[in-house]
């Protein structure tokens, strides 16, 4: 039987927040819903990125790369992604502290660059490797889609010509059983994955794909940053 004075989980969570945790006495409590700043966590190499929190709400995070994403990494957290809001918060740091920052890693969004330049005037801007790889991977998929459209058109043209000539039309079929349009359609996911994670069917499909479409092989190698494929 539950004790009469036992708190429900939700009530305990509220009591902990309001009384036990010391949150209401925290020096940043008044503005924590909009921004937080931890000057003692600052270092020469930083990362600036956006993160989705509750209900998809976007916040901008500034972290110290030396912490490798672990405890003590967070330098600042600002609601939204407006460059002016970021600058306003980060500029609460002393000039000496901001001028000591030598590099900031960020994605290719214009607002990020607009925030970094006035805040850390002596820092080099470094594009995040993940975003570069993502951009190249999307370009590889664009090539694959264009090739598939061309293959569909060619197959439809052959079918039309065969019908006009009263002859059967048999599409090209590769040794794994794929037609050209199937090969290009079914290669979508393997082009997103490292080749070490391909299963046997994907290995066979990739071998055929790259033999007939070397531009996809080159694009995949660049996207995965590997010197050799298959």
Tens digit of each residue's pLDDT (9 = 90 or more) over 102-118: 999 998 888 999 999 99
Token pair of 99, please? 């001028």
In a domain, 13, yes or no: no
In a domain, 24, yes or no: no
Residue range 66-70: average pLDDT?
A: 92
Indicate whether 54 pLDDT > 90: no
**What single DSSP character describes residue 81?**
-
Residue range 143-161: average pLDDT?
A: 94
User: For the sheet containing 45-52, what is the strand order?
Assistant: 35-37, 74-79, 58-64, 45-52, 103-106, 124-127
pTM for the predicted model, two decimal places: 0.65
**What single DSSP character describes residue 151?**
H
Q: Same domain, yes or no, for 117 and 147?
A: no
Average pLDDT, the chain: 90
Q: Same domain, yes or no, for 123 and 141?
A: no
Q: Same domain, yes or no, for 136 and 123?
A: no
Indicate whether 2 pLDDT > 60: no
In a domain, 22, yes or no: no
Whether 124 and 105 have beta carbons less than 8 Å apart is answered as no
Q: What per-residue confidence (pLDDT) applies to 7?
A: 58
Q: Same domain, yes or no, for 36 and 54?
A: yes
Give the range of the structural domain holding residue 166, as residue numbers without chain letter.
130-224
Q: Quick one: pLDDT band at residue 221, thresholds 50, 70, 90?
A: very high
More confident site: 203 or 10 = 203
More confident site: 225 or 82 = 82
Q: Same domain, yes or no, for 147 and 186?
A: yes
């Amino acid at each position: 039987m539950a004790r009469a004075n036992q708190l429900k989980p939700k009530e305990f969570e509220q009591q902990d927040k309001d009384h036990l945790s010391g949150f209401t006495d925290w020096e940043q409590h008044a503005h924590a819903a909009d921004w937080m700043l931890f000057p003692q966590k600052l270092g020469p190499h930083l990362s600036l990125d956006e993160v989705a929190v509750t209900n998809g709400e976007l916040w901008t995070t500034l972290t110290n790369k030396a912490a490798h994403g672990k405890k003590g990494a967070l330098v600042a957290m600002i609601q939204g992604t407006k460059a002016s809001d970021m600058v306003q918060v980060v500029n609460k740091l002393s000039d000496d502290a901001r001028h000591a920052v030598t590099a900031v890693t960020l994605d290719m969004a214009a607002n990020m660059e607009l925030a970094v330049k006035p805040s850390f005037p002596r820092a080099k801007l470094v594009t995040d490797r993940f975003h570069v790889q993502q951009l190249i991977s999307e370009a590889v998929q664009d090539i694959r889609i264009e090739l598939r459209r061309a293959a569909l058109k060619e197959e439809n043209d052959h079918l039309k010509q065969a019908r006009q000539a009263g002859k059967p039309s048999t599409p090209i079929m590769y040794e794994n059983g794929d037609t050209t349009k199937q090969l290009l359609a079914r290669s979508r996911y393997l082009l997103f994955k490292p080749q070490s994670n391909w299963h046997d069917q994907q290995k066979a499909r990739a071998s055929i794909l790259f033999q007939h479409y070397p531009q996809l092989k080159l694009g995949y190698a660049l996207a995965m940053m590997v010197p050799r494929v298959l």
